[in-house]
Amino acid sequence: MATNATAVTPLVRRPTAVETVAIVAPHRDDTGYADALHRRGWRSVAVIPQPLPDPPGRTTVPAGRYTSVVAHTTGLRHTVKRLRSLDVGAVLAGSEQGVELAERIARKLALPGSAPETAQLRTDRGAQAAALRAAGLNAPRSVRTESLREALQWRDFSQIDLCELLPDAVGAPVDPVLCRRRGDIVAAWTVMRRLAHQFAGHHRLVLREHLPGRHYLVHSVTHACLGGPPEHRVTDIWAQTSTPNGWPARLDLVDPHGLLARSLSLYTTRVLDLLGVACGPTTCRVVNVPERGPALLSARPVAMATPADDALRASTGWDRMGDAVDSVLPSDPLPTADVPSGHHVVRTLLHAPHDGAVHPLLLRVVAALPTVVRIDDRLSPLAAVRATTGPATVAGEVVLSGAKTADIEVAYRVIRALETAGLYEGGRR
């Protein structure tokens, strides 16, 4: 059920002289940062680590309106010199692979950034859980290892009935494997190690306890305020509803003034402090465990554009990618008046039961629904779709927004009915 998403007060910044921002290791297909900088009339520089990952990963030459591309080889000094010549005044990581390098570059340029010595806390879910538990915050019990034997020994010692196996690197596009028995861990180990290496270049995995409860995506920005400690600000929270097999079905924008949102925001702020986040965006996946409260599953120090960003901005005043850019600018925050709101926003994640193609007529029916404000680019007439096999392979996304929850729920049910009626059978006669 969507909730009334009255806006949290956004912040504006005093004018800044920064006109060029470096995006380190940008995601190949995500143009969010470049587009946000273009809208502001600023220049964007893509810093591409070389040599490129093998097999090619997410740090190949990116799409988007980048005004310059700088290849980073083994020498940081050469890269920094080149960025100085381009008058770079702020640095952001464009992907998880770029986090530590972005922090090192920012330090060399004397620009806002988190400490590169603690980058592992912001890129490794096993290190994140260990740090939180050591500080007394709620987090899943886990072991981070390359050894199958060690993982099995930990599982036996911990006496955990249900575990999740996944790469330690945050952002890896891999669904966790639920393991009820030792044999499940053994069966999934080799494939998961290979997937971890493809994404992060190493074989470290995390085996952690499965925590029951609803999942939430908590987005935040941290500003390095002049003359004071970093300022963390939760911008938006999305409640995930899952299918019986655990796949995400929808994400509902949460009322930021409710008790749940306040609890999640307070917990997230403490997490950001413990993980050493000094500036920039962070997306936390949190599970709200019954009788235990929020527990961090992962924190990603990267902002990613989503099909719902325009609806979010219209509803709350927050600009996903623009606020991420503003968070690394050397300026002081100035509060603004509350932004009028009231619209509910729901991200509908589509599941294709089989390979097929998008049916043009049924897609037009979806587009004609009054609360549909965005259909993502994957869903075009006769576009090929692959069968959904997990959260990482959803067929597409439809964003709903409106003043009345009932209108959104009607549209949501219609979309699900169209999926059953043949939305993915456009190529059949």
Q: Is residue 239 part of a domain?
A: yes
309: pLDDT strictly greater than 80: yes
Q: Is residue 84 part of a domain?
A: yes
pLDDT of residue 378: 93
Which domain CATH number covers 355?
A: 3.30.70
Indicate if 221 and 205 belong to the same structural domain.
Answer: no
Indicate if 355 and 371 belong to the same structural domain.
Answer: yes
pLDDT band at 256 (very low <50, low <70, confident <90, very high): confident
Distances from the Cα of 262 to the Cα of 109, 119, 163, 297, angstroms: 36, 27, 29, 19
Indicate if 16 and 97 belong to the same structural domain.
Answer: yes
pLDDT band at 311 (very low <50, low <70, confident <90, very high): very high
Picking from 295, 126, 289, the residue whose alpha carbon sits closest to that of residue 207 is: 126
Last residue of a domain, one of 186, 209, 232: 209
Indicate if 92 and 224 belong to the same structural domain.
Answer: yes
Q: What's the pTM?
A: 0.90
Indicate if 181 and 224 belong to the same structural domain.
Answer: no
Strand partners, 322: none
Which domain CATH number covers 278?
A: 3.30.470.20
> 77-110 pLDDT, tens per residue?
999 999 999 999 999 999 998 999 999 999 999 9
> 121-178 pLDDT, tens per residue?
999 999 999 999 999 999 999 999 999 999 999 999 999 989 999 999 998 988 899 9
Directed axis angle between helix 148-158 and helix 182-200, to 10°? 130
What gap in Å lies between CA 332 and CA 366, rounded to an integer? Answer: 44
* Cis omega (within 30 of 0) for bond into 391: no
Indicate if 218 and 312 belong to the same structural domain.
Answer: yes
Q: Is residue 136 part of a domain?
A: no
Which residue range is the domain that position 172 belongs to?
A: 141-209
Last residue of a domain, one of 209, 244, 261: 209
The residues near 377 (Cβ < 8 Å, ≥ 6 apart) are: none
Q: Based on the number of CB atoms within 10 Å of its own CB, is 414 exposed (0-12), middle (13-18) or buried (19 or more)? A: middle
Indicate if 193 and 222 belong to the same structural domain.
Answer: no
Q: Is residue 129 part of a domain?
A: no
Q: Is residue 154 part of a domain?
A: yes
Which domain CATH number covers 155?
A: 3.30.1490
Residue with tokens 């680019």: 377
Picking from 202, 206, 144, the residue whose alpha carbon sits closest to that of residue 179 is: 206
The residues near 245 (Cβ < 8 Å, ≥ 6 apart) are: none
Q: Is residue 6 part of a domain?
A: no
pLDDT of residue 147: 96
Indicate if 406 and 265 belong to the same structural domain.
Answer: no
Q: Is residue 248 part of a domain?
A: yes
Question: Hey, what are 378's tokens?
Answer: 């994957």
Report the length, in residues, of the chain. 429
Number of domains in the chain: 3
373: pLDDT strictly greater than 90: yes
Q: Specify the DSSP class assigned to residue 26.
A: -
Indicate if 199 and 230 belong to the same structural domain.
Answer: no
pLDDT of residue 317: 83
3: pLDDT strictly greater than 80: no
What gap in Å lies between CA 306 and CA 302, rounded to an integer? Answer: 13
Indicate if 280 and 370 belong to the same structural domain.
Answer: no
Residue with tokens 């995506």: 217
